[in-house]
């Protein structure tokens, strides 16, 4: 074998990289384990421990801190960790109304209503909302001009009064895209307030939807309220640091005095505070000495808990926050200029807020002063520190000096030096106020800053250099291009508020997540053990090589997943388990070819070399076709489906590397050592060796069986239909643990049907849980509807003693709007059809005969129809859920990929036999039958391996993926059957002339 040195080098390099990537997970788990031991069950104590470790070196070798390690560990999905997944949809209807200044025109409003209805029906249209609105308006008023509605004083720079309808449509689409991006910016800021690790927010391309994932969040109601709240953009005047710093000293002294006199009366505390307030000596000098003292005390022993406690007692505020103090030209400490008064790491901001918002502190600072944090951490700061601003409140109501609704437009720009800046345009009313504000801020030598605040977060606080008239301003600073785009989006949030509504969500409780982890780990380990035992039992010593290759494959797979930042979900674990079964396919192909070469009398070394050589085309074709299926799943799927697809694709790549290269190197090493390598045990040496089944001759029997089954299934689909999951039907689904373990679904139906409706679905979910799905108020997008439906459900259940529950008994929740459900169904159909087309095209390219492509297309469609028929015929009969949902579609596509994998191997052997026997026989049917029988051993062994793994996954993989794993199980059985009994006969019946 050539290139062994190169293969060894890359294998060692990949192993080192994977080991390094996985080490972050091990270190993070070790720190979290220590935190649990330290806290002894106290969650607040555990959180405080982890916060204290966030900047401490926890990686012994490389001195990485916990925060660095945590960001690079293997991330767990919501179904494993628990948390909340939300899909937000931007209300473009309300946006369009706002742009038109709520125009009362009857035709305009009717067109908006029609567009809403059409977009809600995904079956009738795939157009975007703006296109639908313009189309409906032109239908209602063919000669109407949209410019008359939208060309207002605020929009006149972009939209003239004589603009055509197409120009108006283009402008509205641009505003819609901007509104979605600005909502993304706002939501991205808000999710940082939940205090969760590894939050994720994604903007769906070419869509007005935003996906938000919050692992570990424990307050779903607060999340819903905060995510759906309207953006509040405001402009504030600011205090200079030299003005505000004395108040920080007062606060620090007050907090210290409270620590010392916690058991004395409040009058003594007030007197002590007043005494410190009157001592106003040189502020800058005091600031320098105080900072030096704090830093000196902190530096003595930062790891000593007693010293930290002492420091926190004497300087509670400054122990957490560094004041804004710099050095002058002579090196002396002095207060920094501008509105920033201090800096603190993220872990300490919540504690500082509790200090600043306490009643005692509020009583000793001016009523027109409040402190706000900057929205983004300081750049290039390893502690992820945030700046704290001193904001000056204005007017009798202590509010902003200007609100954000005066902004007409904002855009990113560059100044004369080519540096990024933001251009802001205000309306006439705002321009006049802005002139007065900027004139006052820029007067004198000490120029003031104006803070731009969104949702009480400071986005920017530029210093005003001159009076700005005309309403056009340039905001510059230490910006990147991305910073200017974000700020422009923020500025436009006040002008064009586009409310975001939750259209689908899923909440997974910690207990359900832990069950999923346990089920996933159990099924993975058992699946691995089953595969390894079978390979050794069937292939003897050669089987041990496959075992080593599979173990190395899993190690590489997990390392690559971690390095790519992929999120491991429960379907992802299913993908790993399935990869175990598929991984041995290449080994089986090689081993069966080696056995054939040995049967021809070749030496062991030559037989091994020829086995790898002749098996290579089949291995590549079969794995590429499965990879294409995974790629289609990744492109068209979402959430857990993408996790499954990612795992599957990476698993295929690592499997090829291990099966073709690592296994070959191991065999070469064993041969060099002179080892006697056995490829079978006595009982398995003659399995299927002289098989002579009449597959081609009996093909019409197979046609009849498949035809009858599919016909019965189609009749069942038309008459009985399917049991759709919540993501295809729409509705709200609750997973509930009932205190009364003996409660039945019939009793639950009696309790809830009268209130929630007879369409409410009640199913068992594992041994001790019940799944309840209702479509009550599913088209009501009001923010309070979710809580209303949940309360209605609890009240209905509590009407009977046997079904009484509390809020804590609801361990899982998911919601999908009817609109999204229709879209998912439509998308699923197109995805399956597209997958069949792509794979058939690949077969046509590889085999150069349309009969092979047709056979593959018929077989894949046949498998999909058989699985669908099975799920319709047996729903309600089998003792577990047979729901049609996104996971089921993933299973169908995986079955298609596996079926093609199997079919390609058979096709490859048919092509080989036809080329070898072309001159010897005029009967291609007999040659094809011989080819099928010659590869029957590989087909059955691979199928059995995958079936064993899927049985383990079905039994031990947990209730969440039971239907998914069952669909895969019967799909693999049908796929194995179709590759032999359907795909091949199609070639025979449609290619008799060509084959001859």
Q: How far apart are CA 24 and CA 85, in angstroms?
A: 25
- Rg of the chain (C-alpha set): 34
Q: What is the DSSP code (8-state) at residue 801?
A: G
Q: Which residues pair with 883 in a beta bridge?
A: 723
Residue recorded with tokens 């040195």: 5
List the beta bridge partners of residue 403.
234
How many Å apart are CA 511 and CA 518, to the nearest integer? 11
Q: What DSSP letter does each residue of 666-725 carry, written as one string?
A: HHHHHHHTT----S--GGGTTTTTT----TTTTHHHHHHHHHHHHHHHHHHHHHT--EE-
Three-state DSSP state, 865: helix
Rounded to the nearest 5 degrees, what angle is found at the Cα of 17, between the Cα atoms of 16 and 18? 90
Give 413-470 pLDDT, tens digit per residue.
887 777 888 888 888 888 889 999 999 888 877 888 999 888 788 888 888 888 888 8
pLDDT tens figures, 849-858: 888 888 888 8
Tens digit of each residue's pLDDT (9 = 90 or more) over 594-622: 988 888 889 988 999 998 988 888 888 77
Cα 808–Cα 813–Cα 816 angle in degrees, nearest 5 = 155
Structure-block tokens of residue 563: 């390095």
Residues of the chain with pLDDT under 50: 123-124, 263-288, 293-306, 919-920
Question: In the structure encoding, which two tokens stand for residue 796, read together?
Answer: 């209905």
How far, in Å, CA of 434 to CA of 441, rounded?
10
Terminal Cα distance for the chain, rounded: 38
- Most distant CA atoms of the chain, gap in Å: 112
Scanning 121-210, the segments in alpha helix (DSSP H) are 129-140, 147-150, 165-190
Q: CB of 904 within 8 A of CB of 622?
A: yes
- Judge whether 571 and 640 are in contact, CB under 8 Å: yes
| CA distance linking residue 822 with residue 820, whole number of Å | 5
At residue 382, the pLDDT reads 63
Residue 371 three-state SS: strand
What 3-state DSSP class applies to 298?
A: helix
Cβ neighbours of residue 48 under 8 Å, at least 6 residues apart? none
- Dist CA 334 CA 646 (whole Å): 54
Question: Structure tokens of 939?
Answer: 């087909």
Return the exposure string of 194-222: e unless at least 16 CB atoms fall within 10 Å of the residue's CB, then b: bbbbbbbbebeeeebbbbbbbbbbbebee
Give Cβ neighbours of residue 523 (< 8 Å, ≥ 6 apart). 573, 574, 577, 952, 953, 956, 957, 958
CA-to-CA distance for 91 and 783, rounded, in angstroms?
A: 13
Q: How many residues does the chain have?
A: 996
41-51 burial, b at 16+ Cβ within 10 Å, e below that, comes to: eeeeebebbbb
In sequence order, the 6+-apart residues with CB closer than 8 A to the CB of 300 are: 307
User: What does residue 537 show for φ and ψ, rounded to 5 degrees?
Assistant: -65, -35
Which residues are paired to 770 by β-bridges? 736, 764
> What are the DSSP calls for 862-923, one per residue?
HHHHHHHHHHHHTTTTSSS--EESHHHHHHHHHHHHHHHHHHHHHHHHHHHHHHHHTTT-S-
Alpha-carbon dihedral angle through residues 905, 911, 915, 919, given to the nearest 10 degrees? 120
CATH of domain 731-816: 3.30.70.3400
Q: Which residue has the tokens 């207002």?
A: 152
Q: Chain centroid to CA 466: how far?
A: 46
Question: Which residues is 325 bridged to in the sheet?
Answer: 335
- Architecture of domain 509-673+693-720+822-995 in this structure: Up-down Bundle (1.20)
Distance CA 914, CA 932 (A): 12
DSSP H helices in 469-509: 481-493
* Distance set, CA 335 to CA 252, 287, 338, 450 (Å): 17, 7, 10, 20
* Burial classification of residue 179, based on how many CB atoms lie within 10 Å of its CB (0-12 exposed, 13-18 middle, 19 or more buried): buried
Angle between helices 983-990 and 924-934 (to 10 degrees): 160
User: What are the distances in angstroms from CA 54 to CA 59, 61, 64, 361?
Assistant: 12, 17, 10, 28
**Distances from the Cα of 158 to the Cαs of 149, 161, 175, 409, 474, in angstroms?**
14, 10, 11, 10, 19
User: What strands, in cross-sheet order, belong to the sheet with 500-508?
Assistant: 200-203, 209-215, 83-90, 500-508, 810-816, 731-736, 770-774, 761-764
Task: Determine how many CB atoms are found less than 10 A away from the CB of residue 145.
Answer: 16
Q: What are the extents of the domains in the chain?
A: 4-73, 91-204, 240-367+378-384, 509-673+693-720+822-995, 731-816
Q: Are 125 and 119 in contact (CB under 8 A)?
A: yes
């Amino acid at each position: 074998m050539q290139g062994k040195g190169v293969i060894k080098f890359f294998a060692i390099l990949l192993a080192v990289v994977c080991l390094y990537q996985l080490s972050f997970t091990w270190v993070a788990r070790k720190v979290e384990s220590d935190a649990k031991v330290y806290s002894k069950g106290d969650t607040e104590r555990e959180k405080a421990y982890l916060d204290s470790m966030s900047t401490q070196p926890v990686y012994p070798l490389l001195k990485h801190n916990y925060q660095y390690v945590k960001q690079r560990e293997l991330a767990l999905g919501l179904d494993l960790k628990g948390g909340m997944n939300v899909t937000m949809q931007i209300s473009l209807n309300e946006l369009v109304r706002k742009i038109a200044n709520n125009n009362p025109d009857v035709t305009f409003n009717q067109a908006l209503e029609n567009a809403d209805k059409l977009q809600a029906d995904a079956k009738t249209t795939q157009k975007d909302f703006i296109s639908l609105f313009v189309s409906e308006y032109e239908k209602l008023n063919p000669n109407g001009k949209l410019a008359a509605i939208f060309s207002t004083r605020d929009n006149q720079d972009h939209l003239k009064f004589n603009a055509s309808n197409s120009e108006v449509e283009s402008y509205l689409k641009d505003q819609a895209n901007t509104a979605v991006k600005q909502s993304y910016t706002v939501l991205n800021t808000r999710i940082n307030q939940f205090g969760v690790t590894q939050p994720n927010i994604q903007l769906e391309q070419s869509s007005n939807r935003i996906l938000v994932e919050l692992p570990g969040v424990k307050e779903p109601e607060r999340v819903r309220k905060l995510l759906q709240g309207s953006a509040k953009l405001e402009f504030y005047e600011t205090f200079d640091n030299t003005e505000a710093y004395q108040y920080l000293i007062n606060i620090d002294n007050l907090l210290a005095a409270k620590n010392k006199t916690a058991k004395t009366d409040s009058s003594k505390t007030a007197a002590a505070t007043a005494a410190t307030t009157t001592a106003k000596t040189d502020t800058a000098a005091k600031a320098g000495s105080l900072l030096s003292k704090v830093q000196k005390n902190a530096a003595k022993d930062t790891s000593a808990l007693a010293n930290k406690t002492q420091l926190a007692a004497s300087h509670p505020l400054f122990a957490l926050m560094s004041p804004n103090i710099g050095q002058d030209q002579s090196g002396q400490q002095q207060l920094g200029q501008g509105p920033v008064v201090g800096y603190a790491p993220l872990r300490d901001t919540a504690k500082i807020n509790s200090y600043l918002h306490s009643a005692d502190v509020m009583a000793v600072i001016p009523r027109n002063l409040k402190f706000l944090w900057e929205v983004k951490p300081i750049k290039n700061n390893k502690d992820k520190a945030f700046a704290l601003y001193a904001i000056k409140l204005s007017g009798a109501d202590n509010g902003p000096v200007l609100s954000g609704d005066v902004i007409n437009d904002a855009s990113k720009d560059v100044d004369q030096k080519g540096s990024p800046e933001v251009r802001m345009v205000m309306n006439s009313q705002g321009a006049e106020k802005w002139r007065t504000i900027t004139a006052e801020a820029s007067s004198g030598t000490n120029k003031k800053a104006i803070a731009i605040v969104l949702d009480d977060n400071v986005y920017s606080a530029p210093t005003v250099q001159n009076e700005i008239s005309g309403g056009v301003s340039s905001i510059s600073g230490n910006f990147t291009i991305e910073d200017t785009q974000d700020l422009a989006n923020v500025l436009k949030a006040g002008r064009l508020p586009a409310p975001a509504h939750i259209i689908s969500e899923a909440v997974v409780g910690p207990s359900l997540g832990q069950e999923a982890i346990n089920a996933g780990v159990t099924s993975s380990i058992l699946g691995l053990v089953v595969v390894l035992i079978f390979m050794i039992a069937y292939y003897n010593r050669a089987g041990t090589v496959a075992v080593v290759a599979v173990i190395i494959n899993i190690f590489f797979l997990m390392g690559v997943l971690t390095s790519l930042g992929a999120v491991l979900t429960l379907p992802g674990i299913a993908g790993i388990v399935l990869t175990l079964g598929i991984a041995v396919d290449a080994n089986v192909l090689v081993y069966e070819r080696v056995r054939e070469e040995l049967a021809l009398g070749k030496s062991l070394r030559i037989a091994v070399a020829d086995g790898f050589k002749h098996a290579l085309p089949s291995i590549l074709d079969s794995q590429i076709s499965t990879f294409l299926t995974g790629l289609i799943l990744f492109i068209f799927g979402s959430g857990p489906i993408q996790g499954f697809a990612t795992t599957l694709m990476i698993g295929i790549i690592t499997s090829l590397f291990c099966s073709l290269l690592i296994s070959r190197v191991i065999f070469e090493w064993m041969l060099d050592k002179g080892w006697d390598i056995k490829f079978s045990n006595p009982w398995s040496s003659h399995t299927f060796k002289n098989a002579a089944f009449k597959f081609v001759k009996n093909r019409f029997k197979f046609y009849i069986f498949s035809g009858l089954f599919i016909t019965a299934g189609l009749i069942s689909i038309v008459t009985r239909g399917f049991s759709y999951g919540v993501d295809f039907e729409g509705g709200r689904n609750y997973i509930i643990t009932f205190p009364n373990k003996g409660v039945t679904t019939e009793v639950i139906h009696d309790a809830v049907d009268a209130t929630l409706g007879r369409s409410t679905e009640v199913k068992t979910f594992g041994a001790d849980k019940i799944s309840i799905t209702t479509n009550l108020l599913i088209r009501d997008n009001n923010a309070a509807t979710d809580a209303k439906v949940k309360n209605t459900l609890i009240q209905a259940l509590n009407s009977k003693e046997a079904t009484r529950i509390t809020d804590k008994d609801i361990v899982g929740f998911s919601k999908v709007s009817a609109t999204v459900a229709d879209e998912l169904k439509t998308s699923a159909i197109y995805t399956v059809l597209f997958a069949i087309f792509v794979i058939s095209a690949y077969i046509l390219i590889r085999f150069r005969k349309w009969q092979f492509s047709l056979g593959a297309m018929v077989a894949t469609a046949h498998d999909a129809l058989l699985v669908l028929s099975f799920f319709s015929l047996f729903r309600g009969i089998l003792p577990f859920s047979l729901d049609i949902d996104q996971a089921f579609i993933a299973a169908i596509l995986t079955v298609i990929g596996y079926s093609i994998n199997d079919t390609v191997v058979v096709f490859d052997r048919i092509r080989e036999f036809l080329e070898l026997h072309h001159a010897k026989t005029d009967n291609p049917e007999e040659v094809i039958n011989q080819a099928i029988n010659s590869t029957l051993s590989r087909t059955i062994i691979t199928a059995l391996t995958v079936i064993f793994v899927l049985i383990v996954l079905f039994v031990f993989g947990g209730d969440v993926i039971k239907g998914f794993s069952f669909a895969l199980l019967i799909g693999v059985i049908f796929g194995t059957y179709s590759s032999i009994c359907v795909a091949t006969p199609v070639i025979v019946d449609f290619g008799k002339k060509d084959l001859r």
